[in-house]
A and B are shown apart, each in its own frame.
Chain A
Amino acid sequence: MAVTLSVNGQSHTVESELDTPLLYVLRDDLGLNGAKYGCGLGQCGSCTVLVDGAPVFSCVTPILLLEGREITTVEGLGTVDEPGPMQRAFIEEQAAQCGYCIPGMMMRAQALLERNPSAGDAEIRAALEPNLCRCGTHMRILKAVRRAGQLMQSAAAPGASEGAAS
């Protein structure tokens, strides 16, 4: 069945059953390999993407539910040449070890900071609770999210420009 999905601002028509989890469509049909398959049960968070700005587990979200919704994956936060503030912060803090959980962490953090770029430590910890990291880089992840918040705030500050933020 042909389904039209809006992913990272682009419209895609895919041939797929309606009960296919979004994660499979992202990875297999659209070649967006940022979101990861971890547990397949919506319990680890490595598949987290945004739907209309809210974080969801793409491994348990059938595409049936997503018609007309705006999906954002980690690829939508920036490019290799021009990483977005969340991606830059994770690179600058070297927050990844094995890296498997990181796209999910970034997406859940993105949802939080879009609502509240000045979120404090307690809010960041509470928001990221559903996402697991097995390497133990939690402290660097927290640091990276705080830095991303600062980058977003300074980018949004009056007088800030592309040049000043780089």
Chain B
Amino acid sequence: MTALRLFLALLLVLVVGCIGFVAYGWRSEIDPVARPGQPDPALVQRGAQLAAIGNCNVCHTAPGGEPFAGGLALPTPFGTIYSTNITPDRETGIGTWSAEAFIRSMREGVDREGNHLYPAFPYDHFTLVTDEDNRALHAYLMTREPVRYVPPPNELPFPLDNRLLVAGWKLLFFDEADHQPDSGQDEAWNRGRYLAEGLGHCGACHTPRNRLGAEQEDRHFDGAEIEGWHAYAIDQTSAAPIPWNVDSLADYLRRGWHAEHGVARGPMAPVTANLGSVDPADVRAIATYVAATMGDPGPERLARAEQVRDAASGTGRLAQSADSLAVPATAASDDVGAAVYASACAICHESGRPLPFGGLDLHLSTAVNGPNPQNIINVTLFGLPASEGEAAPVMPGFAGTLSQQQLVALMNHLRGSFSEQPAWTDVEERVARTLSGEQPVSIYTSDGMQHAPATGMRTKPWP
């Protein structure tokens, strides 16, 4: 009798708990609206720039697909999530969403119908975006070409396919918030923090996540693995041989490369492609905030940076030509890695020709000085594919050429010759996984697109 009572009591608690949770997680539907009239062109223009800062096009466009129509597969540790159609199509896109519904999705991660959205949509950042900016984004999206397209359904195992669970995730890891300016900092820093922590969602890639996919607050900007690439630490542990400052960061974020740091690649390529089209003052604000997060390099790092500069200028001993006719003298060596470097890499990387068309002197490379070899493996294998109509860095990939053993030897040689950091311990494993395809790698051109479809968003860089 007692056992039955206990069982009934537990059942009651469970049922009440479930009802309570459902009530907690329940969100109402916001009524669909008619197609809005012509919005203010200035508002749309502002929305275009904000959408570029938010990198919206990159996740919401599938390779070869229509801009903003969604369908890009986002691999997560929990399963594959497909981005949604955010064109103003009324059936398959967000054409029936009022500005209020759009604002709620950004601030709370809930769609117009009241469904919780998976945090692959980074509302943990977007919650900081002001209503005013959200209205501009909404106006911009509502004036895009409507595309009738239904993305594939998400591939999530039970019970993660139940969106109500996201309410629980939010309870643990998400707080709706406004951006609170810090009166102790100047305007550029505050603007930069608003953009970088909010719409720009830098931390979505650069902050490591916990087992449940939430960013680890105590490791803010500490570097993480994403789409087969390492998103570098952009805090005080930055691996850049020459410390970043506001000028170099602002320049890099707008161009996608910097002569003393190298080339934006992987998922960072489209970020810089988008930032090339926005107001330079906003990019500089982001650079101001990120440079402050990295902190002032101490005298030791600055002295080391001078040594790196000297070493880099010393390697420009070939004629000013990156042409393979200018073959450098072979380093007589039994070391396979050194021989491969001398015969296949030095031609461009020691040509003395400046970026973007000459190769970076690898003393300056963050990839060679980073915590793991993944990025330099990726670039060596897949190169820097050319982007249409732009003066951007290019490099041929050596995937069909280098054997696994040659690639491992080359990576170890680069680390030993161009970095003071300790040898990598995971070169063989990462090379094997990348060559076999077990570690998939996303390849982007410097105009930001996978396989370069026209997105309608990329505009000429700001004059």
Which residues of A does B touch, CB under 8 Å? 17-21, 40-43, 51-52, 54-57, 59-62, 64-65, 122, 126, 129-130
Query: How many chain-B residues does the 8 Å CB contact rule pick out?
Result: 29
Task: Note all chain A residues with C-beta closer than 8 A to B330.
Answer: 17-19
Interface of B is mostly: loop
B28 at the A/B interface (Cβ < 8 Å)? no
Closest Cβ of chain B to A62, distance in Å, is 4
* Cross-chain contact A65 with B403 (CB below 8 angstroms): yes
Give CA–CA (A43, B357) in the complex, Å.
Answer: 11
Closest Cβ of chain B to A158, distance in Å, is 32
**Cross-interface CB contact of A60 among B324, B385, B386, cutoff 8 Å:** B324
* Cross-chain contact A126 with B451 (CB below 8 angstroms): yes
Q: Which of A40, A56, A62, A129 has the most CB of B within 10 A?
A: A62
Across the interface, name the chain B residue whose C-beta is closest to A66.
B401
Give CA–CA (A122, B64) in the complex, Å.
Answer: 10
* Cross-chain contact B406 with A54 (CB below 8 angstroms): no
* Cross-chain contact A60 with B340 (CB below 8 angstroms): no
* Cross-chain contact A60 with B399 (CB below 8 angstroms): no
* Cross-chain contact A65 with B402 (CB below 8 angstroms): yes
Closest Cβ of chain A to B318, distance in Å, is 13
B348 at the A/B interface (Cβ < 8 Å)? yes
* Cross-chain contact A21 with B403 (CB below 8 angstroms): no
B273 at the A/B interface (Cβ < 8 Å)? no
* Cross-chain contact B401 with A43 (CB below 8 angstroms): no
Q: List 18 A-B contacts (CB under 8 A).
A: A18-B330, A18-B339, A19-B328, A19-B330, A19-B343, A21-B324, A41-B348, A54-B399, A55-B400, A56-B401, A59-B324, A60-B344, A60-B347, A61-B401, A62-B343, A64-B340, A65-B401, A129-B451
B322 at the A/B interface (Cβ < 8 Å)? yes
3 closest A-B pairs by beta carbon, nearest first, are A42-B396, A54-B400, A19-B343
**Cross-interface CB contact of B394 among A43, A55, A56, A126, cutoff 8 Å:** A43
B331-349 vs A, CB cutoff 8 Å, 1 = contact: the mask equals: 0000000011011100110
Across the interface, name the chain B residue whose C-beta is closest to A65.
B401
